[in-house]
Every structure is written in C-alpha cells, then in structure tokens.
Amino acid sequence: MGNYIIISICSDGYERFATIKDVREDITINVHFLEYDEYLESNEKSQKRRTGDTLDGDISIQLVTFSQKVDVDTALIHHQKIPNFPHVEAIIEVAQIIDKYSMYAHSSITDKNILIEFESVASYKVGDRILVTGSLELSEVS
C-alpha cells in the first residue's frame, strides 16, 4: 500500500479523478477512484477529500483494452498524455499470473508490483514485457 498526497481532485457523483504524488517517490500520476459514501452533484465540493489530503491505497492498471508483447530489453515506462485523466500507456513486466484476465507486474509507476486487469483474455508469461493501455486506479482508499 502506498501513501499519496492529493495535488488536485475533481468529482462526478461517486467518481473521483485526482492528481496524486507518492510521498516516498518523486512520481506524480493521475488516478481514478470511487468514493462510495459521498455522492456529489455538479460543482459541489467534497467534504471528505481535498487538495493536500493524504490517501492510502494500491495503484493498479484496470480496463486494459489493448496489450502487445514488446522486446524484453524495452524500458519500463508510463505515459499519461491526457491532463488530469487516468488513461495510461505503460510498458510493464509480468511478475505473477493470477488468472487469464489478471496479473501482477513490475512498472515505472511504483516500486511495488501492481495489479493489471485485462478486458479480454491475456496469454502472457512471467518475464514478458508488455505495452498496455488502460486506466490507473487507486483502490483501498482509506
């Protein structure tokens, strides 16, 4: 589990889109998460989460709609080209297979293995380097 500081946050119903900074690493990323106990209407400010607050949780790449094996020497990288949005393109290295839709992987996003969840069956092996396109999610928010 990581610790993150909220740099900025936008709300839409139960959904939250936030730019967060890892308190241990010099990494700033855009993530999506759900706030199940606070529904906000348009332009309503959250009473639960604000800029500067700390979040605890795990980062994952979910809703992976595109993946492709790349050369094993390709560097682990990630890009978020859309400002303030959790869309991510990343090169990851498979660390552990969970099932045909899920795996843990090494990435440049964090020093811990992250969960990768595919929208369709994925047939990769441990050690494969893969280009994935999906959404950066923050779970177990407390």
Residue 25: band (very low, low, confident or very high) from pLDDT cuts 50, 70, 90: confident
pTM assigned to the model:
0.91
Digit-coded pLDDT (tens) for 91-127? 999 999 999 999 999 999 998 899 999 999 999 999 9
Would you state the pLDDT for residue 142?
59
Q: Is 97 exposed, middle or buried (0-12, 13-18, 19+ CB in 10 A)?
A: middle
Q: Is the pLDDT of residue 141 over 70?
A: no
